[in-house]
Structures are given as structure tokens and as C-alpha cells.
Amino acid sequence: MKKLIVKIVAELDIPDDWEIVEHPAGMQVLKIGDKFVDIDIAPIATTALGEDAVWSDEDEALINKVLDTLTEMDSELTIEHRH
């Protein structure tokens, strides 16, 4: 068995009224109005080899197979205020 480590860094330009809050489930999430948004890993797949390949999560069996291998995940949300 091998271990795959995936590091993802994403920057989003968000409106000033979005905020990071601690959800009662014990994780940091974005609060957008009255909704809470978690940013998580979302595998997508294709069988096409071309540059115009369409990627999706429609192959639920494959996506679940990948997600079943997930042994650890951590995310950190921060907001940088720009002046």
C-alpha cells in the first residue's frame, strides 16, 4: 500500500459580508447569509484523453472508492483583509 499526499491551496476573492465561523459540528466554515459552506476534497474523473475531456463526479462508485481511502484530512480557513 502507498500513501498519496494531496496539498491544495486555493485563494478566493470573497465579498466583505462572508465570514469564517466555528460550526457546532466542530469545524471552520464560511458563513454566507444564513448558510454554512465547507470546502472539501471533491474527486472528479473522466475516461477521455483529449484536451476537451469532461470531468465529473457522476461515477459514484469510483468517487466513493477514492473517498474510502481517505484516512486524514485537515483544512484551515483564513481571511486576509486588503486595503
Q: Using DSSP bridges, classify how beta strands 35-37 and 19-23 pair: parallel, antiparallel or unpaired.
A: unpaired
pLDDT at 82: 78
**8 A C-beta contact, residue 74 and residue 38:** no
Give the Cα separation of 40 and 70 in Å (integer).
12
Q: Greatest CA separation found in the chain?
A: 48
pLDDT at 35: 97
The grid coordinates of residue 10 equal 486555493
Mean pLDDT rounded to a whole number for the chain: 93
The predicted-structure confidence for 7-27, as pLDDT tens digits, reads as follows 989 999 999 999 999 999 999
Confidence of residue 75 (pLDDT cuts 50, 70, 90): confident
Query: DSSP characters for 54-65?
Result: PPBS--HHHHHH
